[in-house]
Structure 1
Amino acid sequence: MNNKYNLFKRILELSKSKNWDEARKEWAVVEITEAQADDPGSCCCGKHPIKEMIQIFNQKTRNEVIVGNCCIKRFFDINDYDKVFKALKENRINSFMIEDCFKKEVINPWEYGFALNVWRKKKVSKKQFLNFEKIKHKILNFYKKISMGGEK
């Protein structure tokens, strides 16, 4: 069996709906992390090893699974997750990460507004730079916490 079939089969088993187009709407992203080199992850489709892992949660059945960066594209916008992994590799953040962390209450409303206002600016004051670095650190730690051995 191919991995695409395995993904569909596994997700349908864990979903309330038994129709793929409906079932995939039941799922939401919980965590986006990168596996440690000595402890690679596995996708629910059966692919192993995977380096880039996305934990998704079914809002109707309360099930959770890990999918890789290829399988996540079957659920949501392709570019957002590619951008997250690219930003993590470069120790940067992007607007998707800022928005995601605000929705998950990792950053507060002031930090959210400030980060969105400053993240693409080329010239900022020293105070703005220091504030942005604190927010950036919070966001990067949120995405990296599992791969660094932290708790959820």
Structure 2
Amino acid sequence: MHYKLTEEIIALSDSQAWNFAKLEWDFNFAYYSEDLQTCLCGHYPIRNICVIRNKKNSNQTEVGNCCINKFLGIEDGNKIFTSIKKLKDDNSKSMSAEVIDYIYNKNGISDFEYKFYVDIYRKRNLTPKQLAIKVSINDKFLAFTSYETNSHFNRINLVLKWAENNSSFDKDFILSLKKNCERNGKLSEKQKMALENIITKFKIE
């Protein structure tokens, strides 16, 4: 399995030497899949999945959280998955401080929601209104780290990657979809249909 992972990562990297190829990659996104997935190394089943991005050529790929820790030395997903598990069990609990920063920096929550969460982070007794807002923010985090949201991002990034070599294509609409997905955690049915129509029309693969 380790050999398959290194082979796949090297194929997507500029360097053909593993010790250098693995340094080209950064953590980009994490999501929890309700459906069982297969890791890049071939291991099945997995649910905790990290999306990593190559700093040199902008390639993206998905790796199971265990492999990203063990072989790439990237541990960013650990606290995210801990918070996902905790909130799935009880969505009135709190995300870690690092995860609050993560979801905010990814535009998954608003300035108000971020400041509110920081303000009530250490409070044990919340008013019913405060608790309702906190639960709403927690639910946004769970939606943002869902398989559905990630699949939308993948399709959007597919078009943006294609557009790099097709300068006549106007990217404004696709960029607006990306911002909308970051803000709402998903696309509407109408937006999904428009995105798929573009992919079909231009035969983007």
Of 67, 73, 76, the residue aligned with 1:75 is 73
Query: CA distance change for structure 1 residues 17 and 80 in 2, over 3 Å: closer, same or farther?
Result: farther
Residue 51 of structure 2 aligns to a residue whose secondary structure is: strand
Using the size of structure 1 for normalisation, the TM-score is 0.77
Kindly state the Cα deviation for residue 114 of structure 1 after the two structures are TM-superposed: 1.9
- Which structure 2 residues correspond to residues 50-129 of structure 1 after superposition, within 5 A? 50-73=46-69, 74-77=72-75, 79-92=78-91, 93-129=95-131
Residue 35 of structure 1 aligns to a residue whose secondary structure is: strand
CA distance in 2, matches of 1:88, 1:29: 22
One-letter amino acid of the counterpart of residue 76, structure 1: I
Where does residue 31 of structure 2 map in the other structure? Answer: 33
Which whole-Å deviations, capped at 9, do the CAs of 1:76-103 have from their partners, x for residues lacking one?
A: 1274355245335425433232111111
Query: CA distance change for structure 1 residues 114 and 24 in 2, over 3 Å: closer, same or farther?
Result: farther
Which whole-Å deviations, capped at 9, do the CAs of 1:101-138 have from their partners, x for residues lacking one?
A: 11111112332222133234211222322221221111
CA distance in 1, matches of 2:24, 2:138: 30
Kindly state the Cα deviation for residue 75 of structure 1 after the two structures are TM-superposed: 3.1
Percent of residue pairs bearing the same amino acid type: 30
Query: CA distance change for structure 1 residues 123 and 34 in 2, over 3 Å: closer, same or farther?
Result: same
Contact 1:34 1:147 in 2 (8 A): no
- RMSD in angstroms over aligned alpha carbons? 2.7
Where does residue 7 of structure 1 map in the other structure? Answer: 5
Where does residue 23 of structure 1 map in the other structure? Answer: 21
Using the size of structure 2 for normalisation, the TM-score is 0.60
Q: How many residues are matched?
A: 147
Contact 2:13 2:21 in 1 (8 A): yes
Identify unmatched segments of 5+ residues in structure 2: 154-205
Contact 1:87 1:94 in 2 (8 A): no
Q: Hey, which of these two has a bigger chunk of helix by percent? A: 2
Q: Which moves more between the two structures, 99-108 or 46-55? A: 46-55
Q: Which has the higher contact order (CA 8 A, sep 6+)?
A: 1
